[in-house]
Amino acid sequence: MEAQHYSHEDILGLDQRFRNAFINCLSGFKSATLVGTQSADGLTNLAIISSIVHIGANPPMQGFIHRPTSVEKHTFMNIEETGSFTLNHVSKAFFPQAHQTSARYDREVSEFEATGLTPWYGAVSAPYVEESLIKMGFSLQDIIPIPINGTWLIVGKLEEVFVPSTAIASDGWVDLTASGTLAVNGLDGYGEVTSLGRLAYAKPDVPPTFV
């Protein structure tokens, strides 16, 4: 397959929209996730993000990259105000509504109401998305600056999680096709995943084998 080559300078010279679409695809398939928050006075907010990263299992921690806060960012403000957020997997049943949360609504407008998704409450103060089959509640652990471009790594401690019972394998692995979780391609492409199988824990001198 013929490859197109772009140098750093080529990329800097691209049209801004082209570059933004292009670079956002290069990190590969990502997780379609909604972050739920609310302000100190109870205004709910919902935003789609794809930059979730596993930080650790013990204690259980996850993080996500947040854009620069040079302009008003409701999710960031709410997390600072309340120390709480939720992450909710996006599934096939409601991904257009999830995508719609990326529109620039005023702070007084709840993306729950604007998109028809349903707020639901558990043990953390931030709202969950009722329609989501995997829901995680976090307390804020850390906000780490990334100096090069003013972005932030927001790290949360997992306070509770809801997972469909039938999706959990006997060894703890969760079948994300059973929860209908989607993968994201760039900023706006959504896809469903078909399993090619699981591979056994790799050891030197043992060839790769399926579980």
Among positions 109-128, residues that touch a copy of itself (CB under 8 A) are: 109, 114, 123
Q: Are 124 and 73 in contact (CB under 8 A)?
A: no
Contacting range for a copy of itself; rule: CB under 8 A; set: 37-45, 74-82, 154-162: 154-162
CB of 40 to a copy of itself, least distance (A): 23
What is the rounded CA–CA span in Å between residue 168 and residue 93? 21
One residue of 41, 70, 72, 194 binding a copy of itself per CB under 8 A: 194
CB of 116 to a copy of itself, least distance (A): 10
What is the rounded CA–CA span in Å between residue 178 and residue 92? 11
What is the rounded CA–CA span in Å between residue 68 and residue 127? 24
- Return the number of the residue (40 or 192) whose C-beta is nearest a copy of itself: 192
Nearest to 98 by CA among 86, 81, 85, 115: 115
- Return the number of the residue (41 or 195) whose C-beta is nearest a copy of itself: 195
What is the rounded CA–CA span in Å between residue 191 and residue 170? 27
What b/e string do you get for 23-50 counting C-beta neighbours within 10 Å, with b at 16 or more? ebeeeeebbbbbbbbbeeeeebbbbbbb
- The verdict on 70 binding a copy of itself (CB under 8 A) reads no
- The verdict on 192 binding a copy of itself (CB under 8 A) reads yes
The footprint of a copy of itself on residues 21-40 (CB under 8 A) is 21-33
- The verdict on 93 binding a copy of itself (CB under 8 A) reads no
How many residues bind a copy of itself, per CB under 8 A?
A: 121
What is the rounded CA–CA span in Å between residue 46 and residue 86? 9
- Return the number of the residue (81 or 142) whose C-beta is nearest a copy of itself: 142
One residue of 40, 107, 113, 160 binding a copy of itself per CB under 8 A: 160
